Structure 1
Amino acid sequence: AQSAKQVIVQKVRDAERDRMYEEYINRVGEIVNGTVKRVEYGNVIVDLGRGEAIIRRDELIPRELYRYGDRVRAYIYDVRREQRGPQIFLSRTHPQFMAALFRQEVPEIYDGIITIRSIARDPGSRAKIAVTSNDSSIDPVGACVGMRGSRVQAVVAELQGEKIDIIPWTEDVAGLVVSALQPADVAKVVLDEQAERIEVVVPDEQLSLAIGRRGQNVRLASQLLGWDIDILTEAEESERRQKEFAERSTLFMAALDVDEMVAQLLASEGFSTVEELAYIDVSEIASIQGFDEETAGEIQQRATDYLAAIEKANDDERIALGVEDDLYEIPGLTAAMLVALGKEEIKTVDDFAGCAADDLVGWTERKDGETKRFDGTFKDFPVSREEAEEMILQARLKAGWITEADLAAGDEQLEEGAPA
């Protein structure tokens, strides 16, 4: 009888645990209110009434102190089924905790009229939030701030005085970074879309404001956009331009066997590579003041000869590395690229067909708000991800891994899935 009673009690407990798990797994993403039950090694155990939850020390806002009986609001970010019962994990530092608080305070967000597009937090210190409105008559920033700041101040109070910058979201990345770096003034923005990196030029006296205390302002702006941001002063940018001008001039002097004045003229006209001079219409070179068609033709011929010599040297190295001739038939691959592939032991069409686009052009990973860039084999070549994917498809076609029919079917699926 005792054994049967224990079995029944255990089944009741298991049923209660299952019920509690099912209840809270469906509440992930919600804010809950609870009472502090105890504090263990900095972790706060919260009584939710029908269960317990935990706020780990790293999910608490810095300098927050809780004692037995204190009321606490937090965000459910995870629920796990474990042997001793469901574990409910709460957070007060999660970006979505702030989003949920704004959803409670701003009816337009709750109703879906205003959308929170991105949030970046330095919990307890500062945050940036980007919002957009689906109704052109409603100002998303003003709605989130509220009358005399009442709405945003309610969120600030809950987050221990965390200052919140609310900015209007735009698909224009350059415009968005200008807003995200406020209150600093921005003089110039340069985007590198492939690397997801932004170079921002600010007046010299605005540098410390743009970077922020201990890098906080630029770090939050970077998290908000999901791009790396480099801050330069106007003086630093000017110095870099001068350095690049000198490097291009030196390159032209060596490659084209011209004097310094001619090299500087070419650089000042915006030419940055020998390839540009070799493949541009010769009339554009002839239009440079002081040049005639004969001089332009000679410069272009020297550029072509230089590139041919480089190509020959690269091809000799490619052969020495054992890279097969068949790879030359893949559109877009140059001798220099084949050398880079050979150094990575990619020497046959099958080897190349087995590559992923990441292997060639690299990839980025974001962790804890920091972006880390991993280089690919083609790091020194201006190859986009789309171009790399097309090269790999052509290699797989040549290797017999796929057929023309497979390619056509893939294109049809893309067209069917495209928006009308």
Structure 2
Amino acid sequence: MAAAVSANRLELLQIADAAAREKMIDREIVLEAMEEAIQKAARSRYGAENEIRAQIDRKSGEIRLFRVMEVVEEVENPATQVSLVDARHDKEDAAIGDFLADSLPPIDYSRIGAQTAKQVIVQKVRDAERDRQYEEYKDRIGEVVTGVIKRVEYGNAIVDLGRAEAIMRRDQVIPREHLRQNERIRGIIYDVRRETRGPQIFMSRTKPEFMASLFAQEVPEIYDNIIEIKAVARDPGSRAKIAVLSNDNSIDPVGACVGMRGSRVQAVVNELQGEKIDIIPWQDDQASFIVNALAPAEVAKVVMDEDSRRIEVVVPDDQLSLAIGRRGQNVRLASQLTGWTIDIMTEQEESERRQEEFAQQTRFFVEALDVDETLAQLLVAEGFSDLEEVAYVEPDELAAIEGFDEDLVGELQKRAQDALDAKLAEADEKRKALGVSDELAALDGLTSLMLVSLGEADVKSLEDFAGFTPEELVSDRDAPLKTSGLDPLEAQGLIMRARRLAGWIEDEPETDTEMEADGEASGEAEGSAEQA
């Protein structure tokens, strides 16, 4: 009988060892789960109100059961508490807060008790396995892994990674790629989440980072940081662009990525189901980089707007379809790669647009200055575009235009100033009609046109204005002064002045930001005074 008991104890430890190895978790976690299961079964035998503890000897496998009682001053629950007087009958040095443990005889497990114990152990082991998987994979985001497809459900693939399972959603699978059960597949881990049903590991084959990682595996110079991948843009399964930069002038980054007879890039292409890849040299000069990114199309001219990161690209008429690409693919990928919005037009379209702009500007000067068309065309041809330039430019610059004499220049500048005054007066009337207060209009730094924009945005009082942040005032998409030319620093200075005038803050020394904004404004004013 003793031999049988020893065998059962030994078997208990062997089961714990096997479960720990199979699930790749700590043996101690399995033994603690077994102890908890035995405790649960023992409570059903001795009464759920009792505090039962089970202990498995880590060497012999012997199971011991204890009933635990807490020593207290006044007993409230006789099942789990014992008074100090009673406790000292069993243990002379017992003190308040101690725990006394009474040994209990072993129990015979019923079928239901054994099943309950099994469920507890299985759940504990599963939780430990999930924790292990999460801890193992949470720091592996961005890593390329290889797994075996276990099953495919509605286009979503469940991939066995060996120590965990990952899910590859349908939108993360390369289009027209047919996934088969038991097929090996590579992908990049792009997210790991701890969820109720266990850690969810998400794989992708469509992320730009996957292609970058494949190049790093195929091109030793990338792995060694001699060549950097600066940007990647993909249309998965169809076409991609990758920008590379060499930190060694003796190594051609494009040639290194292409490889001998295209062997390196071809290996990546094969993995991506034939996706065509354009390898582009990275350049700090954004105009040149964008021209390269539009390859294979040829570019005649570019016009950049750095504030809005928008660029107009002019191409020969016969290059338009090539620059745009099938369904706009080429220009879309170039835009993603460079981070610029790219507008493409032909040389003929650009010529027509320039002629139209010239005609519009000419009409503007004819109406605003009450001059003939020829004189207006001369102003536009010399680069003048608004009334402020004409009104406040040095008279010598206007006099330098062929056919302009001193009297004509004086008359033109007077008419331009009169037109500006009329425009400002009209704006002021509109401001009043919109209900913008005189108190807000008196705020130094706000022009009549700005006040009209504020009124149209229902900002009418000093308090309304003081409630803004610089971003809300000039940077956000619906900012009322977005087109005013104010930068966030200048806006901050205006808002702080408004808050002081409104009595929101005391007239304390200005912050560095306000002093800088006010300093720039006063510096500009002094410069204007010196010129005058």
- The TM-score with structure 2 as length reference comes to 0.72
Q: Which amino acid aligns with 1:253?
A: V
Aligned-residue offset at 1:38: 0.7
2:492 counterpart of 1:392: yes
Shift in alpha-carbon separation, 1:171–1:331, aligned structure 2, 3 A: farther
The SS at the match of 1:86 is strand
Aligned to 2:511: 406
2:429 counterpart of 1:316: yes
Aligned to 1:377: 480
Aligned to 1:334: 447
Shift in alpha-carbon separation, 1:57–1:271, aligned structure 2, 3 A: same
Aligned to 2:7: none
Aligned-residue offset at 1:331: 5.2
Aligned to 1:369: none
Which residue among 160, 163, 166 is the counterpart of 2:273? 160
2:277 counterpart of 1:172: no
Shift in alpha-carbon separation, 1:234–1:331, aligned structure 2, 3 A: farther
Alpha-carbon distance in 1 for matches of 2:412, 2:211? 61
The SS at the match of 1:81 is strand
Aligned-residue offset at 1:279: 1.8
Deviations 1:256-310 (A, max 9, x none): 0111111111111111111211121111111110001110111011101100100
The SS at the match of 1:301 is helix
Q: Which amino acid aligns with 1:394?
A: L
The SS at the match of 1:49 is coil
The root-mean-square deviation of aligned C-alpha atoms, in Å, is 1.9
Shift in alpha-carbon separation, 1:408–1:358, aligned structure 2, 3 A: closer
Aligned to 1:193: 306
Contact 2:149–2:182 at 8 Å: present in 1 too? yes
Q: Which amino acid aligns with 1:33?
A: T
2:375 counterpart of 1:262: yes
Map 1:205-244; keep pairs closer than 5 Å: 205-244=318-357
Aligned-residue offset at 1:134: 2.3
Shift in alpha-carbon separation, 1:116–1:77, aligned structure 2, 3 A: same
- My pick for the range that moved more, 136-145 or 152-161, is 136-145
Alpha-carbon distance in 1 for matches of 2:181, 2:312? 49
**Structure 1 runs of 4+ with >6 Å offset:** none
- My pick for the range that moved more, 175-184 or 397-406, is 397-406
Alpha-carbon distance in 1 for matches of 2:443, 2:267? 61
Alpha-carbon distance in 1 for matches of 2:278, 2:236? 13
Aligned to 1:416: none
Aligned-residue offset at 1:352: 2.6
Aligned-residue offset at 1:182: 0.7
Map 1:22-101; keep pairs closer than 5 Å: 22-101=135-214
Alpha-carbon distance in 2 for matches of 1:264, 1:360? 38
Contact 1:106–1:151 at 8 Å: present in 2 too? yes
Deviations 1:135-191 (A, max 9, x none): 233222222122222211111110011111111112221111100001111111111
Alpha-carbon distance in 2 for matches of 1:69, 1:146? 32
Deviations 1:8-63 (A, max 9, x none): 33222111100001111111100110111111001111111122111111111110
Alpha-carbon distance in 1 for matches of 2:512, 2:335? 38
The SS at the match of 1:33 is strand
Q: Which runs of 5+ in 2 are unaligned?
A: 1-40, 42-113, 517-532
Aligned-residue offset at 1:314: 0.5
Shift in alpha-carbon separation, 1:174–1:353, aligned structure 2, 3 A: farther
Contact 1:119–1:129 at 8 Å: present in 2 too? yes
Contact 2:493–2:513 at 8 Å: present in 1 too? no
Q: Which amino acid aligns with 2:322?
A: L
Aligned-residue offset at 1:327: 3.6
Shift in alpha-carbon separation, 1:137–1:354, aligned structure 2, 3 A: farther
Alpha-carbon distance in 1 for matches of 2:294, 2:470? 33
Aligned-residue offset at 1:379: 4.9
Aligned to 1:248: 361
Q: Which amino acid aligns with 1:74?
A: G
Alpha-carbon distance in 1 for matches of 2:471, 2:510? 26
2:392 counterpart of 1:279: yes
Q: Which amino acid aligns with 1:212?
A: G
Contact 1:362–1:377 at 8 Å: present in 2 too? no
Q: How many residues align?
A: 398
Q: Which runs of 5+ in 1 are unaligned?
A: 364-373, 412-420
The SS at the match of 1:322 is coil
Contact 2:366–2:376 at 8 Å: present in 1 too? yes
Aligned to 1:415: none
Aligned-residue offset at 1:357: 4.3
The SS at the match of 2:195 is coil
Aligned-residue offset at 1:347: 2.0
Alpha-carbon distance in 1 for matches of 2:456, 2:479? 12
Alpha-carbon distance in 2 for matches of 1:348, 1:407? 26
Alpha-carbon distance in 1 for matches of 2:512, 2:357? 43
Calculate percent identity across the aligned residue pairs. 63
The SS at the match of 1:6 is helix
Shift in alpha-carbon separation, 1:249–1:240, aligned structure 2, 3 A: same
Shift in alpha-carbon separation, 1:150–1:34, aligned structure 2, 3 A: same
Alpha-carbon distance in 2 for matches of 1:23, 1:119? 28
Shift in alpha-carbon separation, 1:242–1:360, aligned structure 2, 3 A: farther
- The TM-score with structure 1 as length reference comes to 0.90
Aligned to 1:183: 296
Q: Which has the higher contact order (CA 8 A, sep 6+)?
A: 1
Deviations 1:359-408 (A, max 9, x none): 44455xxxxxxxxxx45323554x15xx2442233322441367544326
